[in-house]
Structure formats: C-alpha cells, structure tokens
Chains A and B, each alone.
Chain A
Amino acid sequence: QKEVEQNSGPLSVPEGAIASLNCTYSDRGSQSFFWYRQYSGKSPELIMSIYSNGDKEDGRFTAQLNKASQYVSLLIRDSQPSDSATYLCAVNKDYGQNFVFGPGTRLSVLP
C-alpha cells in the first residue's frame, strides 16, 4: 500500500460544477495535510493546508479532514477552466519536515 493515494484521474467536470478530489494516507501519526496545485510545466503551489478534523474553507476551496478514516479531500466550487491542473495531496508524517506526496489527480474543467 502506498503511503499517500489519490484518484488517478483524469477527472473532468463542467464549468461551474463542484470538483471533488480525494486522498487517503496510511500513517495514522500524520500531523498535517496539504493540497498543492500544479499547472503543466510549472512547479507545485500551495492551495490549502489542514491540520484538524473537519472542514476548512478558503474562497472556492474547501479542505476536509477525517483522521479516523485517514482521508482528506479538496472540494472546488464553481469550477473554472483555470482550475484545470494536477492536484497533489501531501502529508507531513512527523516533525521532520518530510512530506510524502501522492501521485496527483489531473482535473480538467470543461467550458
């Protein structure tokens, strides 16, 4: 079992719809969780971070964390074509600053 798993995608949604991206992790001791967006040919950039169970909202983005189920998700409301990118889930396992990244889910928002 991989440490961090994501839907392989690609995920296609129509413009204006809600895109739901999922991530599961294997280490129950994981402390913090991050969603990065990566456009083709570019470097990853942080969208959201979440540390406690529940929801965290930032504009059109909502991160959800359920530590009991070892599950973290990212919802993108009112999806726009500019949201088309690969979304990487990252998990920080301990205080050593070592992130483990999932393989990414490619999202395509269709106009």
Chain B
Amino acid sequence: DAGITQSPRYKITETGRQVTLMCHQTWSHSYMFWYRQDLGHGLRLIYYSAAADITDKGEVPDGYVVSRSKTENFPLTLESATRSQTSVYFCASTSGGTPYNEQFFGPGTRLTVL
C-alpha cells in the first residue's frame, strides 16, 4: 500500500529491553521524522533525517537511536527502554525542498514500558 506505515502498532515491553519501531514510506520523500506525543507535551521531535545516511537530533533525542540506510525506511531504536519512554510514537515524512511542504504522518505506535 502506498503511504507511510509504522510497525508494530502496539508494543508492550519491559524496562531495560531494546525496542525498534519501524517506519516505511512509499513516496520517496527526502525528509523523515520521529515524534513522540504525550499528554501535556504535544508532539515533540526526537530525530529527523534529511536523506539516507543523514540524521540529526530533535528536541528529545536522549535514549533513542536512528538510522537511515534506505530512503524509504527510518527505524527508531530505544536502546534500553525506560518507563518515561511510554508514549505514542509518530513517524512523518515530507518531500522537502521548500518551507511550504506539509508533513504526512503514519498511524502511530503505542509503546508501553513496564
């Protein structure tokens, strides 16, 4: 299916475990983003990528690792999950090139860290 997908949609894990959230887009968008959304904080940028092999930190990068070996994929890894990382995670993408392009969001992954 065309668009932007995330997997898994729901994940329960334990403190200290490594977790990887997947994001895949079929538009060949240059830019991809990872956000977390928590009550009282809105959407906060974790990491973003301007192209394959180019990533940069956002507002809340601590405890997260990203990679982007292919344009269409942008996985987010929690190296050692903590309870404070319980959240809803959204991946987004945009074609970039101008300041006027909207970001398109994936359906989200609800992560619970016990």
Contacts and interface: CB of A to CB of B under 8 A. Distances in A.
Interface stretch (A14-22, A63-71, A75-83, A99-107): A99-107
Interface residues of A, number: 23
B7 interface: no
Contacts, number: 52
Nearest to B58: A98
A34 B104 CA distance: 12
Nearest to A51: B100
B107 interface: yes
Q: Interface majority SS on B: helix, strand, loop or mixed? A: loop
B88 to A, nearest CB: 9
A73 B35 CA distance: 24
Nearest to B91: A43
B99 A44 contact: no
Interface string A78-95: 000000000010101011
Given A88-B43, A102-B42, A46 B48 contact: no
B34 interface: no
Q: Which size class do B's interface residues fall under? A: 20 to 34
A49 B107 CA distance: 21
A95 B42 CA distance: 22
B79 to A, nearest CB: 24
A8 B42 CA distance: 11
B101 interface: yes
Given A34-B103, A51-B100, 18 more contacts: A42-B107, A43-B90, A43-B106, A43-B107, A46-B104, A49-B102, A88-B42, A90-B103, A94-B99, A95-B99, A97-B94, A97-B96, A97-B101, A98-B48, A99-B103, A102-B42, A103-B40, A103-B42
Q: 10 nearest interchain CB pairs?
A: A31-B99, A43-B105, A103-B42, A101-B43, A97-B31, A46-B102, A92-B99, A32-B99, A32-B100, A97-B96
